[in-house]
Structure 1
């Protein structure tokens, strides 16, 4: 997997702090406080119990440090690394009480994000030998978009827009409400900054032909087309625009869609249907 620079802790800290506050409740970890004697220290290991691609190590480390800045959390398998069952991803040394208090939040983030990275890597593997890139969507867990999209990068995928303000993406409802393909494209180009890309969704080859005739689109989203129709669309577009295939993009279909020559395949499943990777904290 390609490596990616860590996000600034300043961006991640509010997410992790909110999760810790949710877990610690109004009175902290009463179980640990009751049964763990003061001053007890331990070496703990965050281990993989299944094969996959690692993500969320930066966040897990931050969770432990926010609970107790004296904890020594050392990442052994950085985000984007492959892992096998039994691999140690991180060691945590210090107060046993502090480790136990941060354990669940660290594992929740790391397991969820590693699951996204693992599923993304499986999608990417189906595109080998083609120029097609796998990208996510905005179908993310509310409040966690930035870290879930980072996990997609760790799996070898690419990011679509992060918010409604990133780019102009004209969908079928925009077209219906604004009066047709020509109307929306002309309006978009009249108002778009020179830094703003324009993408438009089409459902048919006739709509694609109209988009190419009118001009003004940088990217065309080919929505819910079967594979033969996608092949036709690639031929019609003739590299004049970037093509993104979307809708019903299951893992077992990715190889044949990539073979059509589309530039991108977008799938909400990367973030909304990824299975959490089984991780555990062992003393």
Structure 2
């Protein structure tokens, strides 16, 4: 078996730790909601499946949590949440819940999680979103090294994740991002999005030029200052073109009313020529 040790960069690789204990407790405790609470059949859910929360305190059956986007604290049953470490190590998430979480919007092909067995500590599985969610058992040697394929062993789970983030190497695809890392909480999406203002269509021919040229009351105008300037410049250019076209049309009209006679070299008015032809005829 080939033992594989990969160098990692501080920019895009997770920090290495050689012991299971260092995987946990090195960062603020986070939990992910496994199912809506309370159920939508009872009332409007306070926390929805896939939402990440900060764990404040564990109090028997009820855990005190706080949203990552707010300061208010609330309580949620511990059966409705699972602890998450390093963004990708989920504690006590079974196969069915893993598939449900990875199927949430925001997860792309290659989104993954490493989940620890709820029945026996130290047993892990890798779940990866592809066309369907694929699951891989992570085995552990007597020397505590890990592997999915016997030909590749890793000293720690971080090394394994780093390697399969670069190469599929027998998996359904390379790992791209931890599960739920691309999800935006509803509260953030609402507060961060600019307001949408619906305006009725209007006739550009009826736009008041004084409104376009004026810089007063920009917020009350149906056009922003920059758009008004652009339209004013366009109208000015159009008017210049129209004036030039009218001038050219008048010149051509005058030219059509006279003829140059090569044999005499004199200009004869068209109306006079017609009169002479009538007399001669």
If the length of structure 2 is used for normalisation, what is the TM-score? 0.23
TM-score (norm: length of structure 1): 0.23
Task: Report which structure shows greater RCO (CA 8 Å, sep ≥6).
Answer: 1
Structure label with greater radius of gyration: 2
